[in-house]
Structure 1
Amino acid sequence: MHKHWGEFIGGIAMQGKLVSTHQLGFEGKKIYANQNTEDGLHIAEGQTIGGNMVLKAKSMESATELAKKCPILFMGGTVEVRDVIPMN
């Protein structure tokens, strides 16, 4: 899988579309509105976010086409494509 990830991320970088990517760790804290904290990660429907990638894309459709090649899909995972709203 390392080869597939390298090819996937490298291909996007070579196109000048990669902004950043991070694999998330397995330790974390959840903070609630009442300021209570709890060790662990947010898990919904048995899944948690494993990483993120920020890309340059002209449209949601072009970003989706890039995401369809993500190696996690071949392992039974899912990919979510979202827009980014700059904080000005």
Structure 2
Amino acid sequence: MRQDWGSFIGNIAIKEKLESTYQLGFEGKQISTDLKVSDGMLISENKIISGNMIVKAHSLEEAVEMAKNSPILKMGGTVEVRSIIPMEN
């Protein structure tokens, strides 16, 4: 799997489409609207987000095509593709 991930990320990087990628840790805290802090991470429908990748794409469809090669799909996982909205000062 490690080699698959290296190839997947490397191929995107070679095309100069990779901005950043991070694997998320397994420890976390949740803060609710009343500022109560609890241990753990959000698990919805028995699924968690395990990492993220920001790529340069001209369209959502182009990003989807890149995501179709993700090794997580071979492991039975899913990939979610979203646009991002840069924060402005």
TM-score (norm 1): 0.99
For the pair 1:58 / 2:52, whether they are aligned, the reply is no
Could you tell me which runs of 5 or more consecutive residues in structure 1 were left unpaired when the two chains were aligned.
Answer: none
Moved over 4 A (4+): none
Number of aligned residue pairs: give it.
88
1:39 and 1:83 map into 2 onto residues whose CA distance is 29
What letter corresponds to residue 79 of structure 1 in structure 2? Answer: V
Measured after TM superposition, the shift of residue 4 of structure 1 is 0.2
1:38 and 1:50 map into 2 onto residues whose CA distance is 19
SS at match of 2:73: helix
Structure 2 match to 1:47: 47
Could you tell me which runs of 5 or more consecutive residues in structure 2 were left unpaired when the two chains were aligned.
Answer: none
What letter corresponds to residue 85 of structure 1 in structure 2? Answer: I
2:66 and 2:85 map into 1 onto residues whose CA distance is 20
What letter corresponds to residue 61 of structure 1 in structure 2? Answer: E
Structure 2 match to 1:67: 67
Name the Cα RMSD after superposition: 0.4
Structure 1 match to 2:6: 6
TM-score (norm 2): 0.98
